Chains A and B, each alone.
Chain A
Amino acid sequence: MKKIVVNNLTKHFVLKDQSRLDVIGGLNFEMEEGEFLSILGPSGCGKSTLLSILAGIEAPSGGEIEVSGRALAPRNNGIRLGFVFQQPRLLNWRSIRDNIRLPLEHGALSGEEQLNAAQRYLELARLKGFENYFPLQLSGGMQQRAAIARALAIEPEVLLMDEPFSSLDELTARKMRAELIRIWRETGKTIIFVTHDIFEAVYLSQKLLVVTERPARTYDRIDVDVGYPRDYDDDRLFEIAKKVSRLFLKMEANDAS
């Protein structure tokens, strides 16, 4: 059974002047359990809307989404999805531990189990020793690691990541990408990672889904057959990145004509 099946997903918004804005014009993809998929597309192409739909924040206009064979709608159908945003989006008045604990507080876990889970994922994200710090006392990279720990703490079936490293400086982002791969391999989570950074997508993922400008459609699927852990200077990754770049140029040329 596939972990995720997205079938002919569409989304449009009706604007104030009653005009219709098509954001997603038909997306199809499937994922196996434990896979790492990147969705790559130009800025403003509706990638974030796709993640919002998967997270249950927005309702789709058409099409189906299944997670582990169950339809996602309505209200996520009890399917747990972890979300990491572009910004850490931590609650600044809560300690790091209490931030990671936040999504567990309304669940079935006892107080002690919540603390244990928070501690486990805090350590997985290498934040041991910073439990009682407040978010604003930590660097941007550490805050984002706390956000990843928070998303993992709910033991999600799928981890959704919306350009999580794009607001970090490049060196920090590189470290974070390596950390993410380590966490992914330790936890075996299914990850959907949205980005507009071609090399980031190639470096991280097993599969790439290239989507068009708005309204987003599936343009191409690319496999990255390079084993982990990967090296930043690996020529095979560069070759694939070049191929994807050419694909983007071709896609834009098609659009222009």
Chain B
Amino acid sequence: MHTTLRAYSILVLFAAWLGLSFVFSPQVLPGPVPVFQAIWENMASGEGFYHVYKTIFRVLLGLLIAMVIGGVFGVMMGISLKAEKFLESWVMVGLTIPAVVYAIITLLWFGLNDSAAIIAIGVTAFPAVAINMWQGVKDIDMQVITMAKAFQIPRADLIRKVVLPQTVPYVLAATRYALGISWKIATTVELIGMSSGVGYMLNYWFGLFSMTQVLAWTLTFTLVLLAIEFLLINPFEKRATAWRAVVQV
């Protein structure tokens, strides 16, 4: 039922695209056929894989940094009021500064290389992770922890069986959110200062005014992100939160 609905929604989107492409000239809005043809040619030449790989590599490493720093910040803010008061403004400042500023600063500091991109991604995405984890730790149900203590459950078991499972939905939300941010900042950094990656290719084809290629690269990476969502995150979430799909008996 939901799958068919999803399929229809994508179908409608493509139909609208196709319809509009007849209205506008190919320079303004090329139809799906030439765009997919361009994707196919990019991939067939091997160039597509190279640039997608470069972007994914930067996104994943940056995401890892964001998850680690954001996780540490969030957990500390969740368990200690002092840490909350101390770190809150950092997270808020981090959240407020436009991503492109981080891109410029890291490129100036570290030069036009992968580390600049990775650090820019990590710094940009960490506040979102911190906020989610902060909320997640605050929402931990103390009542079940008291229960576990009353049943003399050892500390390591308590953390593994009672505390961590409660944070799973928040870790998932943080990952999802940070992944979206990471990919956007990655393309920005690549566009400004890299000579590889999807952002670089977007800039290249922007210079040549090729709408077909701009759409082809955008769509390529959108498909990659959708694949990550539906092949990795979504199945894991379904398994981890199966207990929520409930019907009262």
Which A residues form the contact surface with B (CB < 8 A)? 52, 55-57, 75-76, 81, 83, 85, 87, 89-94, 102-103, 105-106, 133-139, 150, 154
Contacts and interface: CB of A to CB of B under 8 A. Distances in A.
A89 B147 contact: yes
Contacts of A85: 143, 146-147
B249 A137 contact: yes
Contacts of B243: 92-94, 134-136
B151 interface: yes
Nearest to A98: B161
B68 to A, nearest CB: 25
Nearest to B153: A106
Contacts of A105: 157, 161
A103 B165 contact: no
B154 A106 contact: yes
Contact of A136 (B144, B162, B246): B246
Nearest to A76: B152
Contacts of A134: 242-243, 246
18 contacts: A52-B150, A56-B152, A81-B150, A83-B147, A83-B150, A85-B147, A89-B147, A91-B144, A91-B162, A103-B151, A103-B152, A105-B157, A106-B154, A136-B244, A136-B246, A137-B248, A139-B249, A150-B151
Given A85-B143, A85-B146, A137-B249, 5 more contacts: A52-B150, A89-B146, A93-B243, A150-B151, A154-B151
Residue among B147, B162, B240 with the highest chain A CB neighbour number at 10 A: B147
A57 B153 CA distance: 12
Residue among B150, B165, B243 with the highest chain A CB neighbour number at 10 A: B150
Contacts of A93: 165, 240-241, 243
A137 B247 contact: yes
Interface of A is mostly: loop
Contacts, number: 64
A90 B148 CA distance: 10
Contacts of B242: 134
Interface of B is mostly: helix
Interface in B140-170: 143-144, 146-154, 157, 161-162, 165
Residue among B157, B243, B247 with the highest chain A CB neighbour number at 10 A: B243
Interface residues of B, number: 24
Contacts of B150: 52, 55-57, 81, 83
Closest 10 CB pairs of A and B: A103-B151, A134-B243, A83-B150, A89-B147, A55-B150, A136-B246, A93-B243, A137-B246, A93-B165, A89-B144
B143 A87 contact: yes
Nearest to B165: A93
A2 to B, nearest CB: 23
B244 A91 contact: no
Contacts of B146: 57, 85, 89
Contacts of A83: 147, 150-151
A75 to B, nearest CB: 8
Contacts of B147: 83, 85, 89
Contacts of B165: 91, 93
Residue among A52, A105, A106, A133 with the highest chain B CB neighbour number at 10 A: A106
A142 B22 CA distance: 62
A139 B153 contact: no
Contacts of A103: 151-153
B249 A102 contact: no
A87 B151 CA distance: 15
Nearest to A153: B151
Contact of B151 (A52, A102, A137): A102
A92 B151 CA distance: 17
B159 to A, nearest CB: 13
Residue among B144, B148, B151, B247 with the highest chain A CB neighbour number at 10 A: B151
Contacts of A75: 152
Contacts of A102: 148, 151, 153, 161
